[in-house]
Amino acid sequence: MFVDEATIVVIGGDGGNGCLSFRREKFVPHGGPDGGDGGHGGSIILKADLGVSTLLEFRYQRHHRGQRGRHGEGSNKTGRSGADRVVMVPVGTVVLDGDGFRVLADLDEAGATFVAAHGGRGGRGNARFSSSVNRAPTRHDSGAPGEERTLRLELKLLADVGLLGLPNAGKSTLISRISAAHPKIADYPFTTLEPHLGVVDRGDYRSFVVADIPGLIEGAHQGAGLGLRFLRHVERCSLLLHLVDPTGAMGDPVEALDTIDAELSRYGTELGNKPQIVVITKADAAQDQSAVDRLRARAEQLGRTCLLISSVAGTGLKELIHTVSDRLDRIQSDADSAIELDED
């Protein structure tokens, strides 16, 4: 099961109490306070791990608590600090506050960490309060409680290319032909109910990752259909492939293209400004050539490359992979140039 949202409660370990103790030894004329400090509580640390793919685990284990620090002891012995608890999350996990409005961390690289809840400080023993005017202090501190907070986790898939389009536009069929992914394929809308990732071999021992998300419909930015929940999975993509069915099964193809563009712009992020390639699918089933011509004209008007493919027949797939590879290289080159200019 693919789970991309979870709410968890993280609680840092409590600090150990400081000790109240006085040294009393035979043949030692001068005793005194010797209570040690308590140990610090362990923290909860979220760490991005490539070996974790979903947030399913957090559906069954919502509470995560750090280890408590041990109490201080006599003879100035400090209590042992509690061990930090490291909780593995998928790479691409975004950590938000409990209300889901403020982003606290974006764990978009393997090994990235975020201290979700700090452990409490250990209390001071009475030896800490000894002074020239107070030779026998009885004061000692209790350990501080660990930090407790509710967090919301959202997973955004890491992919180079995102597939967009109305339901039944041919996204699942395409990703199954150009990669080893095996999404469910059927001749009805909303066949895809969860995102799928596929790795595409681009030659020369290089590859790129494609993300297939459930089909969008008008009003997706407001939660209609499945779009709002899954649109975030293409936020990190460098390039979008906008698939359009020219057969008219889901309405006028040009209107379908404009509908998805409008939903991307209204989503509230930079999705509407991401580079796009228009991909006309089901070339083997297109009976109306005028629909293909109108789509090409609309893509040219928008300044986008337009390709005609048939995933079933395999027509145009090599050209598609080649075009996507070249565009990704250009995008990466432009990004590197921008970084160099910023450093200068």
Quick one: average pLDDT of 127-132? Answer: 90
**Domain count of the chain?**
2
Question: Residues 133, 200: one domain?
Answer: no
What the block records as the tokens of 334 is: 């432009």
155, 177, 202 - which closes a domain: 155
Q: Tens of pLDDT along 298-312? A: 999 999 999 999 888
d(CA 185, CA 179): 14
Question: Residues 144, 186: one domain?
Answer: no
Q: Nearest 5 degrees, angle CA 318-CA 319-CA 321?
A: 65
Look at residue 339 in the predicted model and tell me its pLDDT: 67
Give residue 316's domain range. 161-343
Q: How far is CA 325 from the centre of its chain?
A: 24
CATH of residue 290: 3.40.50.300
Q: What pLDDT band is residue 24 in, cutting at 50, 70 and 90?
A: confident
Whether the Cβ atoms of residue 215 and residue 189 lie closer than 8 Å to each other: yes
Look at residue 218 in the predicted model and tell me its pLDDT: 57
pLDDT above 70 (res 193): no
Per-chain mean pLDDT for the chain: 85
d(CA 157, CA 173): 20
Q: Tens of pLDDT along 53-68? A: 888 889 889 999 999 9
Question: Residues 105, 24: one domain?
Answer: yes
Least confident of 154-158, 195-199, 226-230, 338-342: 226-230
d(CA 46, CA 283): 47
Question: Residues 253, 330: one domain?
Answer: yes
Nearest to 214 by CA among 188, 239, 237: 188
Nearest to 171 by CA among 235, 250, 236: 250
113, 137, 155 - which closes a domain: 155
Nearest to 198 by CA among 223, 172, 217: 172
Question: Residues 261, 283: one domain?
Answer: yes
Whether the Cβ atoms of residue 204 and residue 325 lie closer than 8 Å to each other: no
pLDDT above 60 (res 179): yes
Look at residue 228 in the predicted model and tell me its pLDDT: 56
Nearest to 280 by CA among 268, 298, 301: 298
168 φψ region: left (φ > 0), alpha (ψ -120 to 50), beta (else): left
Q: Which residue has the higher pLDDT, 220 or 233?
A: 233
128, 155, 182 - which closes a domain: 155
Q: Tens of pLDDT along 237-267? A: 889 999 988 887 777 888 888 888 887 887 7
Look at residue 291 in the predicted model and tell me its pLDDT: 85
Burial label for 331, CB within 10 Å (0-12, 13-18, 19+), is middle
Question: Residues 180, 319: one domain?
Answer: yes
pLDDT above 50 (res 274): yes
Question: Residues 206, 334: one domain?
Answer: yes
Quick one: average pLDDT of 31-49? Answer: 93
Contacts 24+ apart (CB under 8 A), 100-107: 100/152, 100/154, 104/151, 105/46, 107/46, 107/47, 107/48
Q: What pLDDT band is residue 220 in, cutting at 50, 70 and 90?
A: very low
Nearest to 161 by CA among 146, 148, 147, 174: 174
Question: Residues 179, 38: one domain?
Answer: no
Q: Where do we find the tokens 């986790």?
A: 153
Question: Residues 123, 179: one domain?
Answer: no
Nearest to 118 by CA among 146, 78, 151: 146
d(CA 279, CA 306): 6
pLDDT above 90 (res 36): yes
pLDDT above 80 (res 194): no
Q: What's the sign of the alpha-carbon dihedral 21, 24, 28, 29?
A: positive
Question: Residues 238, 134: one domain?
Answer: no
Look at residue 229 in the predicted model and tell me its pLDDT: 62
Phi (first) and psi of residue 280, to 5 degrees: -85, 115
Question: Residues 310, 329: one domain?
Answer: yes
Question: Residues 291, 196: one domain?
Answer: yes
CATH of residue 111: 2.70.210.12
Look at residue 188 in the predicted model and tell me its pLDDT: 43
Quick one: average pLDDT of 321-343? Answer: 82
